[in-house]
Structure 1
Amino acid sequence: MEQSIGQEYMKQSTCANCSDCDRDKKLTPPPLQLPYAEDSSIIKLPEPDMLADQEINFLELIELRTSVRQYHETPLTLAELSYLLWCTQGVKMAMPQGTSIRNVPSAGARHALETYLYINRVEGVTPGLYRFLALEHALLLVQSGEELNEVMVPAFKNPKMVKTCAVTFIWMAVLERMAYAYGQRAYRYLHLDAGHVCQNLYLAARTINSGVCAIGAFDDERLNAVLGVDGESQFAIYAAAVGK
């Protein structure tokens, strides 16, 4: 009987296919973060230790977690965006061998996700596509302008939600960063890691009176093209709309 794509994926990504990876060969690990040009437009975010503490009832926070698909026109502040980014991909310590300790778990501390932000309404930030530089805790401008909206919004199966939220978080997987340690099983871990990150976003957003809706339905080819990645070694893996 011919196996389905899903069955073949599970078979090829078993632990048996973790062997003989680059880490075992003592090869140089890939960098913790994708490079960028020195003359890039950078926006420094409020430092994590300057962010206000949020008093919460944890059980209430868990029970009230829900997906929110309609948003108010009130923008997020830059401090609020900084807070959400710190909670989802904040780097507490850079470690040897291309690993880091962050505010979310990751297989082998590989942290093979890059966070992109499609910003509609954040105070003091020009709408556009940005990449979060986790090591610097800053935003890197990737693209702005009306033409961006024309290609970004239709890439999602629910374009209205992306068009009306304050920010759409887009997580892009860097395969080599995870495959360095886990070979073909890296594909499983990338998806698991994306889930960890998105759940932190849900919970953190709730503490600042904001809502989140995770997005798994998007046109992979179109979204990868907007991000400027090849869809194979680097690819969009998950997204989430955020707003008041």
Structure 2
Amino acid sequence: MGRYEQQRNFLKSNFLEFKHVKTDKIKGLPQPPAVKPYSSSSVIVDLPEFSGDIAGQATVYDCIKSRRSTRFYAQESLRLEELSYLLWASQGITGATKGGLMLRTVPCSGATHTFETYLFITRVEGIPQGVYRYLPVEHKLLFLFELDEIDQKIDAITLEQPFVPNFAKKAAVLFAWSTTPYRSEWKYDISAHKKILIDIGHVSQNLYLASESIGAGACAIGIYDQNLIDDVLGLDGEEEFVLFLSAVGKKRE
């Protein structure tokens, strides 16, 4: 029991302690940027528009009922329109409050949205293999770099999966969500970290249901090489680091 105590306490509410904390927001310190900047000379990939028709005749009920973690994928590529939809469903911006807070397709504690979406793309029609980052404000893709032997690198990142070994490299896309914790710490201080973990669950579930609606399957991945993926993506591992992964591909018949 002793070795679990600290982690169990982390799962509990600490509001009574938090309400006595003077957060950086209360101190008047500047709010961190809501999204990660990029160079004006970067290579940008336009994402096509889509409508609700992309989900076919699937209902929310059908998607919830049919959703399973999918580890076997067809060789079929995702269409760029479908990837556009999945990115919007999991991190897209749908509006803003009068105070300027961004509203997205997923709920988030205090609209702090600490996540960045990185993509290891192997099979998406119309764009080359490589590593990309989603730009939610513009709803575009930022091309980061090509990755030699991308499937082998994905295999190394995702380590020894317990149910179906090596499945992630066979997906069309590997989503990798990083977190910049200070976006939440600025507002929630010692309560931020539990909120971040709750928030990533909303993102993952939206990706599951959106994938299901287009005949694709997703599988969340919590077993990965932290240092390797942070290094591949050029993250410092402290102020920004990968928090969760999900493989996505068309379902195998």
TM-score by length of 2: 0.87
1:171 to 174, 177, 187: 177
Q: Which runs of 4+ in 1 moved over 6 A?
A: none
- 1:21-75 Cα deviation digits (max 9, x unpaired): 1111232211111011110011010135597464323322211111110100000
Separation (CA, whole Å) in 1 of partners of 2:144 and 2:180: 17
Q: How far is the alpha carbon of 1:137 from its aligned partner?
A: 0.4
Cα deviation code 1:106-147 (max 9, x no counterpart): 000111110011101000111111100001101111121315
Which residue identity does 1:226 align to in structure 2?
A: V
Residue 24 of structure 2 aligns to a residue whose secondary structure is coil
* Cα offset, 1:215, TM superposition: 0.4
Structure 2 unmatched ranges of 5 or more? none
Q: CA RMSD in A?
A: 2.4
Q: How far, CA to CA, are the matches of 1:209 and 1:95 in structure 2?
A: 34
1:135 maps to what in 2? 137
Residue of structure 2 in register with 1:22 after alignment: 24
| Matched-pair contact (CA < 8 Å) for 1:31–1:98 | no
Structure 2 counterpart of 1:85: 87
Hey, what's the Cα distance between the residues in 1 that align with 2:81 and 2:238?
34
User: Which residue is equivalent to 2:167?
Assistant: 161
Q: Secondary structure at the match of 2:166?
A: helix
Instruction: Report matched runs for 1:34-113 at 5 Å.
Output: 34-48=36-50, 52=54, 54-95=56-97, 99-113=101-115
Structure 1: distance between partners of 2:100 and 2:238: 21
The separation in 2 between residues aligned to 1:30 and 1:162, in whole angstroms, is 33
Identity over aligned pairs, percent = 39
| C-alpha distance in structure 2 between counterparts of 1:206 and 1:228, whole Å | 31
Q: Which amino acid aligns with 2:48?
A: P
Matched, 1:216 2:218: no
CA contact (8 A) 2:131 2:147 kept: no
1:114 aligns with 2:120: no
CA 1:33–1:48 in 2, change beyond 3 Å: closer, same or farther?
A: farther
How many pairs are equivalent?
Answer: 244
2:237 aligned residue (228, 231, 241): 231
Q: TM-score, normalization: structure 1? A: 0.91
2:71 is paired with a residue of what secondary structure?
A: coil
Q: Distance in 1 between matches of 2:36 and 2:220?
A: 24
CA offsets 1:159-189 (integer angstroms, 9 cap, x no match): 6222110001111001111111101211111
Asked whether the 8 Å contact 2:154–2:169 carries over to 1, the reply is no
